[in-house]
Structure 1
């Protein structure tokens, strides 16, 4: 990833000349980069020992009817943020694509169902769905979190937030990003 950053800053990209096409040999899963960024930022913001990334939690079982074979059904939330002090236990799930309808960002029903499965499997009733901020207005401080929607299903509270990332390449912005992220996620449940 470091080499890709250097190449991009150096101006390397896809370009076309008569009879030629040049491009760097990189393939980036941007959703994975977003998930990794949020995991690292959560660990830096909340503390490495309080953030449990990508651990499987049993949700139930499934049975293959033709063979009768029973297998475990597990879910894998991106991060479980364990409680510390007055901060409650929370789940953080990175979402890369926001669903914008008629100019409004929304949490889809499928994302709510997934959040409910995470909640049930982990026994945690606070779930944050974290999307990259839509680049509409002037950039805010890196890591600034804005709650855009909330869903409540019985005792489970699901909060959709947008996280500003456009200024993350500035000097000192990574530290600002993880500090703002931790504050914004915690404040989302106040």
Structure 2
């Protein structure tokens, strides 16, 4: 399972994985991913935490190389932090791992999934409000659901080809901050329906 940012990504070792598997660290990492560089104070305001707490967890994320200090930004003691570029890769469920590592991977996977769903639900709730989603943004939105019958190998091929195509396209726009731009999220999910049955051999 890749966190949806860049593919292929950094494969997390057990120490880094357990370092990420904390609710506030996940929230900080998610915020830096979605909204770009932040300070401990701005993160505290956004997440409803104390700046002392966000400062501590920022240092822990930096220790595991998930984030880094923005060079040349800030003044005095106010540091700006950004997510380290590139995606991260979780161990597959079938991989041999300690129970604690397995629990950490499961937690991170659920939090990434919950964050994606929450972002989409927030948009759906605001979609018909032109004050929150102006018409030009509403017209730019694309939501597509495709249902197929595939084998695991075919699903892997579809996933890889979509990710390769998407990565090539988004790299043309990554790092830009054009006038009128705002944070957007492009989601791609490819998974088997749990209540579906396999076609007999």
Same fold (TM over 0.5): no
TM interval, short-chain normalised: under 0.3
> Which of the two has greater helix per residue?
2
Query: Could you tell me the TM-score, scaled by structure 1's length?
Result: 0.25
> Which of the two has greater strand per residue?
1
Query: Could you tell me the TM-score, scaled by structure 2's length?
Result: 0.25
Return the structure number with greater relative CO, CA threshold 8 A, min gap 6.
Answer: 2
